[in-house]
Amino acid sequence: MRIGWLWRALPVALLTFLLAGCDLADEQSVFSPAGPVAEEQLGLFMWTWYLSIPVMLLVGGVLAYVIVRYRRRRGDDSIPGQTHGNVLLEVVWTTIPVIIIILVAVPTVRSIFALQTFTEAGEEDVTVTVTGYQWWWKFEYPEYGITTANELHVPVGARLVLDLQSADVLHAFWAPRLGGKVDLIPHQDNQLWLQASEPGVYHGQCAELCLGAHAYMRFRIVVQEQAEFEEWVSSFQEPVVQNVSSDQQVSQGRTLFAQKGCIGCHSLDNYAEGVSYGQPGYPNLTNFGLRHTVGAGVLDASLENVAQWIMDPQTVKPGNYMPTLWAEDDPNREEESTAIAAYLLSLGAGQAADGAQAVAMGGN
């Protein structure tokens, strides 16, 4: 009886999963290219895929024919003709793969030189130095003097030229909808260029095993209209730090950010005048309120999620280097982590509206 139940439930369960899987989510899909590099790479795949259809039909067809035509009939013990080979056939079926391979090789070589040859970055291009750390990404814009983490901003249509470096082990930078990956290797300067044709937030992920929280080493590329991008850049020139806030929670969070020792690792430009806090080997949190995610692309940056991440980072992202700051029975841990989260999310938020005011207030 239980078996009968299982047999009835199985197709239903499968169907549910099929439908659930068919929501056409494509955040990291090679099939949804959003720029010329990914399009070129997908085109190469599709070309090979079409070429492989006749090959599969040929092999499958011959196999099916042979199985039906030459199967042993009951009682038939005859010995077929002992053919040892045929030179003409060998020549023909050596030529077939040669032709297929030429058809694949020509566009392949063309695409290699199109995508992997580098020219000097031009006026329109945005150059970013990417440094891989276990298990987050540092993004530096040398032109603008911006240092940020886990989220890249780039204007639509501009060429994004990435200088890839690693601070510890191997990593690989991969944003599938914009293009293929390149490894980050200690003592090696690798380069990659990408380009986006439409604005949007594109997912990326580390693709080379780096132990520990490798699966949680994600990032976002935010592709914006030129004006929005410039606004984002300018927000870093005089970052808002909310030194005085009417919001009780934000003020408490600002104090806790120092008290709890967050500032010992995490830089926050302009947190206090004339003093540089934080260390270069940890994510810089300047303008954190402008980010889409927390924990290197692991959670969306809502107040609840950020608080959860600060309170219990090892559950959100097992193996990472964030310390757990509160004992499990600490009655204040929820309140305090939420306050820090609220403070961090206030950074850079509402930049355009009250930026000048905030800067004026923050000048102490």
Q: Residues 313 to 332: which contact other proteins by CB under 8 A?
A: 318-319
CB of 41 to other proteins, least distance (A): 5
303 binds other proteins (CB under 8 A): no
Q: Does 25 bind other proteins (CB under 8 A)?
A: yes
Name residues contacting other proteins, limited to 210-229 (CB under 8 A). Answer: 210-215
User: Do residues 189 and 197 lie in contact, with contact meaning Cβ atoms separated by under 8 Å?
Assistant: no
In the complex, the smallest distance separating the C-beta of residue 303 from other proteins, rounded to whole angstroms, is: 20
Binding residue (CB under 8 A) for other proteins from 48, 127, 129, 270: 48
Report how many residues bind other proteins under the rule CB under 8 A.
97
Q: For residue 214, give every residue at least 6 positions away whose Cβ sits within 8 Å of its Cβ, in sequence order, or none.
A: 135, 206
CA angle (199 as vertex; 298, 139 as ends), nearest 5 = 50
Q: Would strands 126-133 and 159-166 be described as parallel, antiparallel, or unpaired?
A: parallel
Say if strands 299-300 and 126-133 run parallel, antiparallel, or are unpaired.
unpaired
Contact 57, 201 (CB under 8 A): no
Instruction: Pick the closer one to other proteins by CB: 5 or 70.
Output: 70
The minimum distance between CB 118 and other proteins, in angstroms, equals 9
Cβ atoms of residues 284 and 147 within 8 Å? yes
Pick one of 6, 9, 26, 323: the residue that binds other proteins (CB under 8 A): 26
Closest-CA residue to 349 (of 233, 237, 251, 242): 242
**Angle subtended at Cα 198 by Cα 196 and Cα 204, rounded to the nearest 5 degrees:** 50
CB of 214 vs other proteins, minimal distance in Å: 6
Count of residues for the chain?
Answer: 364
Residues 68-87: x where in contact with other proteins by CB under 8 A, - otherwise, as a string? --xxx---x-xxxxxxxxx-
Output 90 or 335, the one with its CB closest to other proteins.
90
The piece of 29-37, 231-239, 283-291, 347-355 that touches other proteins (CB under 8 A) is 29-37
Q: State whether the Cα torsion 17-22-25-31 is positive or negative.
A: positive
Q: How far is the CB of 339 from other proteins (least distance, A)?
A: 27
User: Around 239, how many Cα atoms within 13 Å sit in the side-chain half-sphere?
Assistant: 25
Q: Contact letters (x/-) for other proteins, 244-283, by CB under 8 A?
A: ----------------------------------------
Site for other proteins in 99-158 (CB under 8 A): 100-101, 104-105, 108-109, 111-113, 115-117
- With binding defined as CB under 8 A, does residue 23 bind other proteins? yes
Neighbours of 329 (CB within 10 A): 6
**Minimum CB distance to other proteins smaller for 190 or for 197:** 190
How distant is the alpha carbon of residue 340 from its chain centre? Answer: 26
**Contact string (CB under 8 A) for other proteins, positions 170-209, x = contact:** x-x-x-x--xxxxx-xxxx-xx-----------x-xxxxx
Sheet with 136-141, strands from edge to edge, namely: 146-149, 136-141, 126-133, 159-166, 190-195
